[in-house]
Structure 1
Amino acid sequence: MGWGPQQRDADAAAASVAKMTLEQKAGQVILPFYTGLDHEAQAAQVERLHLAGSMIMADNVPGTATGLVDVRALAGVTGRLDKAARAGGRTWPGLIGVDQEGGAVSRVGAPLTRWPAPMSYGAAGSVPLAAEAGRGLAAELAPLGFTVDFAPTADVTIGPADPTIGARSMSADPRAAASLSAGFTKGMLAGGVLPAVKHFPGHGSVTTDSHKALPVQNATLPQLKARDWKPFQSAVKAGAPMIMTGHIAVRALEPGVPASLSKATYSALRGLGFKGVAVTDGLNMGAVTGRYPHGSAAPAALAAGADLLLMPADAAAAHAAVVRAVAGGKLPLQRLEEAARRVVTMMVWRGRTAKPRPPAAPGSGEALSAQISARAITVVAGRCKGASVPGSVRVAGGTPVDRARFAAAAKDAGIALGRGPLVTLIGYGGGPVKSDLAVALDAPWPLAQSAAPTKIALFGRSPGAYKALLAVLAGKAGAPGKLPAAVGPYPVGTGCR
């Protein structure tokens, strides 16, 4: 069928959807979220409204007394929500979703593997490594009951003017972003979790954060096809089962309307050959909530061509709005049924093909994560051979956890702390610094204006990333990474030769 499922999956889904009431059909196209740890209340809502499943956000993840994720309890939560999604005789698994990209967007923390920022794959320049990472990440989520991960981010970043995506993008080069994100997508599928490639028609080249307001994309269609759409074309060829639409108003498609609610945008996406599930970005985001109150975004998105409505601000209001729109003739029943069939087809296929495999233990990907960081670390300015620091350094910036990880890696590398040159860590959202050595832990843009003779892009803050950093500083390892995006005067490809 061009996107994973076979005709028998579509036939089974069509038969199931045909037997559903209007309320059940409306539920199958909504993937809600909830706050806090009242999992039973969420399960009850999933059952009552016949919802597709549930998202798990960071505040839904149960923890231990030591601050780690309680993996056994988390598996119990996803199992309960899956059972709720199967209520009423549904035989396919529920959509138990999470945002686990690696880097800054990681809802489930340790003891699961700490992965570096996705831009690491662009700096390392290795599609096989990206695919291996996608598989490793998914392989740890699947045993915990997750069926869907809203990753990878396929957006092509334009650099520091991009306030939302940054190091979540794999590259500023459309071809590299396309091949790397497709590799990651295939890896995730092999690891047993459904990926959702995001955010069509491209969120890396707009200058407003859609969590807060509606970005406007002024590029022409030829410009979009040459840049922003290349990774999504690649995702379609890779068999991506889901593509997410972003809350971006594209003047060349439908001015003033978020792409997630724009018929022209869904037509453009289908024009790339995509036959899978088109899912909206979170409908609780600022670009949508102010314009579409009381659940009205839900039927509007369906009417435009969405198949799955992600995280409406009020799931009950969204469900009621969909039922009301169909009953009142404002939303064609056939459109709702088409959307429900696509979602159910995907999950019938997932249920049929999910092969029992030895569960990947939480944290089993740490060695791979460290390998990625060692391949990605990039010297933007400074020495490429030999030690960059003497036997002792000072460290500033970052968080207490960052400095503790730096200290642990320094000890292993034989470098003392307390005197010597100053190493300043620049975390997510940090600005330029003045230091002897500046190290960007997330997007590398702050290095452009930092006053430091040595500038290093690390693209991560995991223990493995710090191990890679200290090995380079001590002269025990080279820095093979190359900038996947320009950083001020430093062009793409800057790095040690």
Structure 2
Amino acid sequence: MSPSHRTPSRRAFLSAALTGTALAMTDGAAAAGTAAAVTGSAPDERHLRRLLDGMDLARKVGQLFVVRVYGHRADAPDPVDERANRRLHGVADAAGLIARHHVGGIVYFAHTRNIRDPAQVAALSAGIQRAALALPVPVPVLISIDQEHGTVARIGRPATLLPSAMALGAGGSPADARRAARIAGTELAALGIRQNHAPVADVNTNPANPVIGVRSFGSDPRAVAALVAAQVRGYRAASVAATAKHFPGHGDTATDSHTGLPVLDRTRAQWEALDEPPFAAAVGAGADVVMTAHVVVPALDPSGDPATLSHRIVTGLLRERLGHRGVVVTDSLGMDGVREKYDDDEIPVRALLAGCDQLLNPPRLPRAHQAVMRAVESGRLTEARVDESVLRILRLKHRLGLFGPTRTDPSAVGTAAHLAAADRIAERTTTVLTGHPGLLPLSAATHPRILVTGAAPASTTGTTGPPVAVLAGALAALGFTASTAGAERAEAAAAGHDALLVCTYDVTEADDQRALVARLVATGIPVITLALRNPYDIAHLDGVAASLAAYSWSDTELRAAARVLTGAAAARGRLPVPVPPLFPLGHGLTYPAR
């Protein structure tokens, strides 16, 4: 190893690499400790390069990885499975992960038990930064999460739950999209989470898409581009790195890249017209990060390699054609889509050769780290190429202020102002698809007794209970007599009610939900359906008196749907996707509030 790669003492490093800066103790509600952080006059490019020069190769390679860690504390094993981190990373906890592997990023998940409540998440983030800044070469960790809102939300109540991307598409307001992102970003930053894997920039042109759907703003590239750009600006205003995903586009795929390798069958001209605009808009709005997709696009790269591993796509299109100068993160390297063609040693090396910077969630971090080290030592991957990526990551950490004091504020999560804003935005997104004349908005004078029944999604993040119970409570608060019944007893419970509200969830031709709706329609009582996810459900349901789309099942969206249904709020939303064969893009019945 050359002398320039020897690790200096912490004192010598700080003196040499960060001359002219001051040291400050971390502070904030959950950041007590003695870890030093760079503050005062902010490091410029020269200082960041000195910081890079102070790292040996192992530390540089570590900065490229963003991984999950089990447990709700930085300095303790996961209480549910004490050996979870040892099996995955060979360490006991987050602090050990940082000390041994020098990782540049950690991504939070609910299933890894990182998330209990705001105070705990803030303390975990602060503990991670203390561990990172206590090392001989102190480099802060960039903590990230998938908090798209809607159907993908790792943090639930008491955080503010905002409408899904497709719901925002139904609202059609860039101002609302920006406000939603700023609220989301403000709350993430208050918990020490400074990178969000959002917004989704995919254009959902395939109603049968198994993985994108309501995670997309819609099917119109120009409308999606405007909302993506607005969200990037909203996150940046909150000092959180937005991550536009999944480049070059996952919206017209029929395979889920978690379980297989999708092929995007577009011509180059089609890609430029349909998939490129939102990513170009994200880059133009200053997106800090773009995430790659594990999809094959033969028109863009005939090699058969997924985009994550394609130099033509990552470097040729994203960097050179679109001009993205920021960080490129892979989608999870544990997904089947990227593991179909190459083994786990080869994938991280090929991702770096393609032009990626952050390597997200490899199946085994020690193995992936060693694979990159060997590639550099063999000359297949140059250290200069590694330096390019590390420097981009350091610049991002600097822009986000991570070299300054760690500050968290759990009290900024789920504030009254944020919750009220979410309610107002959600009202503007609920879409009325059909309604018999004179039925909507429902009146407590003519339809006072409502039975709520139907589907219940497996995920309950963002809800205080099953959707049917939340809706019944919201209707009761609006002056209706609302009761609930499970799908198996809904027909028997229907008697004596004036309307039947049925929650639906991804209805198909061979779905039991179709039979339930048909039985309820046969009672002669008006049946109203509310799609809790994709708005395509109504195409498979016959005879209903009215139908609405909420685009997700959070308390926020369910309460908004109840207000629109009953006229407590105006009906304004319009479909951001067509629902063949029934409705075109932009369809939606509107009426004023009572």
Tell me the TM-score range normalised by the shorter chain.
Answer: over 0.9
1:392 to 449, 455, 462: 449
Q: TM-score, normalised by structure 1?
A: 0.92
Residues 159 and 254 of structure 1, relative CA distance in 2, 3 Å threshold: closer
1:298 aligns with 2:356: no
Distance in 2, matches of 1:44 and 1:243, equals 29
Q: Look up the equivalent residue of 2:371 and give its one-letter code.
A: A
2:370 to 320, 323, 327: 320
1:423 aligns with 2:487: no
Distance in 2, matches of 1:36 and 1:25, equals 26
Q: Which residue of 2 aligns with 1:273?
A: 323
Judge conservation of contact 2:192–2:408 (CA < 8 Å) in 1. Answer: no
Q: Which residue of 1 aligns with 2:306?
A: 258
Distance in 2, matches of 1:175 and 1:260, equals 25
1:491 to 572, 577, 584: 584
Percent sequence identity over aligned pairs? 35
1:214-247 C-alpha deviation (Å, 9 max, x unpaired): 1011211211111111011001110111000110
Judge conservation of contact 2:500–2:528 (CA < 8 Å) in 1. Answer: yes
1:387-426 C-alpha deviation (Å, 9 max, x unpaired): 3361111111133521121111011111112423221112
Distance in 2, matches of 1:210 and 1:87, equals 38
Distance in 2, matches of 1:360 and 1:245, equals 34
Q: Which residue of 2 aligns with 1:338?
A: 388
1:128 aligns with 2:160: no
Residues 169 and 286 of structure 1, relative CA distance in 2, 3 Å threshold: same
Q: TM-score, normalised by structure 2?
A: 0.78
1:142-182 C-alpha deviation (Å, 9 max, x unpaired): 11111111111111101422111100001111011111011
What are the residue-to-residue correspondences of 1:344-423 with 2, within 5 Å? Answer: 344-351=394-401, 361-364=412-415, 365-383=418-436, 386-388=440-442, 390-399=447-456, 401-418=466-483, 419-423=497-501
Local SS of the residue matching 1:121:
helix
Distance in 2, matches of 1:369 and 1:428, equals 25
Q: Look up the equivalent residue of 1:391 and give its one-letter code.
A: P
Q: Look up the equivalent residue of 1:496 and give its one-letter code.
A: L
Q: Which residue of 2 aligns with 1:447?
A: 538
- Of stretches 141-150 and 349-358 in structure 1, the one that deviates more from structure 2 is 349-358
1:51 aligns with 2:103: yes
1:310-334 C-alpha deviation (Å, 9 max, x unpaired): 1111111111110011111121222
Judge conservation of contact 1:295–1:313 (CA < 8 Å) in 2. Answer: no
Count of residue correspondences: 486
- Of stretches 72-81 and 124-133 in structure 1, the one that deviates more from structure 2 is 72-81
Distance in 2, matches of 1:112 and 1:81, equals 21
Distance in 2, matches of 1:100 and 1:429, equals 25
Q: Look up the equivalent residue of 1:10 and give its one-letter code.
A: E
Q: Look up the equivalent residue of 2:376 and give its one-letter code.
A: V
1:33 aligns with 2:33: no
2:529 to 425, 435, 438: 438
Q: Look up the equivalent residue of 1:56 and give its one-letter code.
A: Y
RMSD over aligned Cα atoms: 2.2
Distance in 1, matches of 2:560 and 2:118, equals 28
Q: Look up the equivalent residue of 1:58 and give its one-letter code.
A: A
Using the TM superposition, give the Cα deviation of residue 89 of structure 1 relative to its aligned residue in structure 2, in angstroms: 4.3
Residues 352 and 105 of structure 1, relative CA distance in 2, 3 Å threshold: closer
Judge conservation of contact 1:53–1:85 (CA < 8 Å) in 2. Answer: no
Distance in 2, matches of 1:338 and 1:41, equals 29
Distance in 2, matches of 1:87 and 1:223, equals 51
Judge conservation of contact 1:152–1:196 (CA < 8 Å) in 2. Answer: yes
List structure 1 runs of 4+ shifted beyond 4 angstroms: 89-92, 352-360, 383-386, 428-432
Residues 384 and 35 of structure 1, relative CA distance in 2, 3 Å threshold: farther
Using the TM superposition, give the Cα deviation of residue 212 of structure 1 relative to its aligned residue in structure 2, in angstroms: 0.4
Distance in 2, matches of 1:335 and 1:82, equals 27
1:109-163 C-alpha deviation (Å, 9 max, x unpaired): 1111122211111101100110000000111111111111111111110142211
Unaligned runs of 5+ in 1: 1-6, 64-68
Distance in 2, matches of 1:36 and 1:353, equals 25
What are the residue-to-residue correspondences of 1:11-410 with 2, within 5 Å? Answer: 11-37=46-72, 38=77, 41-61=93-113, 69-255=116-302, 256-266=304-314, 267-270=316-319, 271-351=321-401, 361-364=412-415, 365-383=418-436, 386-388=440-442, 390-399=447-456, 401-410=466-475
Judge conservation of contact 1:261–1:300 (CA < 8 Å) in 2. Answer: yes
1:12-49 C-alpha deviation (Å, 9 max, x unpaired): 32222122111111001111113455365232112211
